[in-house]
Amino acid sequence: MKIHLQKIAENRAMNDRDSLETRALALNAAAAALYAVLTVALAPISYGPMQVRVSEAMTLLAFVNPRFLPGLVIGCLAANAASPLGPIDMVAGTGATFLGLWPMRFVKSTWTASLFPVVSNGLIIAGELVYLSDIPMSGFWVTALYIGAGEFLAVAVCGSILVHFLKSQPALNKWLHF
């Protein structure tokens, strides 16, 4: 009887673990799809030297729960497949997003976390645009400021509002922590 109850407990624990992994996979797939769809649907303001990539507001989900990082990076990769800059943007742009998300896990403030994507995207995307387009090297810092300002609006402003809203809604908040 004792062995039977132990097996039932082990099976239940395994099912709970599998359920959490399935939930993580589903939520990351949803985050990736939403990021990509928002970016492509708003393409005129999502790409180029003056952009506000609205989907970047979602990047603060990786601050709330680092397990969102893969879905956000994959969503960015998918969105950058539609970029006018082509495959280079899939590498550089996705790398910039990853570099903005990774350090979020080490800070405690939403405000501080929101600055990582602002800086990484501002610098890397400006470098990419200067390299691939007719923007002169002397225009790097102006381009970085434009990209950074768009990121600031998307992440620090809109993303902070999004995170605050999600955390304040008990029904939604439970989906953030898987």
Domain boundaries along the sequence of the chain: 2-176
User: What integer pLDDT is reported at residue 6 of this predicted model?
Assistant: 63
Residue stretches of the chain with pLDDT short of 50: none
User: What integer pLDDT is reported at residue 42 of this predicted model?
Assistant: 98
Tell me the torsion sign for CA atoms 10, 16, 22, 28.
negative
What pTM, to 2 d.p., does this model score?
Answer: 0.88
User: What integer pLDDT is reported at residue 64 of this predicted model?
Assistant: 95
User: What integer pLDDT is reported at residue 28 of this predicted model?
Assistant: 97
CB count in 10 Å sphere of residue 10 = 10
User: What integer pLDDT is reported at residue 34 of this predicted model?
Assistant: 98
User: What integer pLDDT is reported at residue 177 of this predicted model?
Assistant: 83
User: What integer pLDDT is reported at residue 35 of this predicted model?
Assistant: 98
